[in-house]
Amino acid sequence: MKKPIQLLTALFVAALVSACAAFDYDLAMVESQATSGDNFKDALHKEYLMLAREEDKEDDWEDAAFFADRASQAAGGADFPPQMISDRQIPAANVKEMSFARSSVINALATEKNGFFAAHVARAQAKFDCWLQEQEENTQPEDIAKCRSDFEEAMGLIMVKAIPAPTPEPAPAPAPKPMKPETRTYTIYFDHDSSALGHMANIAIANAIKEAKSTNPKLVQVGGHADTTGDQVYNNALSDRRAKAVAKKLVEGGLTKKKLVKTSMFGEDFTAVNTGNNVNNRGNRRVEIKLKY
Give mean pLDDT, residues 44-56.
94
Q: For residue range 172-181, what is the model confidence (pLDDT) as tens digits? A: 666 665 555 5
The pLDDT value given to residue 289: 95
Q: Tens digit of pLDDT for each residue in 64-86? A: 999 999 999 999 889 899 999 99
Mean pLDDT estimate for the chain: 84
Q: Check residue 199 and give its pLDDT.
A: 84
- pLDDT tens string 128-171: 999 999 999 999 999 999 999 999 999 888 754 333 334 454 55
- Mean pLDDT, range 207-233, rounded to an integer: 93
Q: Give the residue, 252 or 203, on which the prediction is more confident.
A: 252
pTM of the full structure: 0.51
Sign of CA dihedral 75, 81, 82, 87: negative
Going from the N-terminus, what domains does the chain have, and what CATH number goes with each? 21-156 (no CATH), 160-164+178-292 (3.30.1330.60)
pLDDT at position 37 over 70: yes
Query: 283: which DSSP letter?
Result: G
Letter string b/e over residues 279-292, b meaning 16 or more CB atoms within 10 A of that residue's CB:
eebbbbbbbbbbbe
What span, in angstroms and rounded, lies between the C-alpha atoms of 257 and 239?
24
Over 90: is that where the pLDDT of 259 sits?
no
Mark residue 49 as left, alpha or beta (left: phi above 0; alpha: psi -120 to 50; beta: remaining): alpha
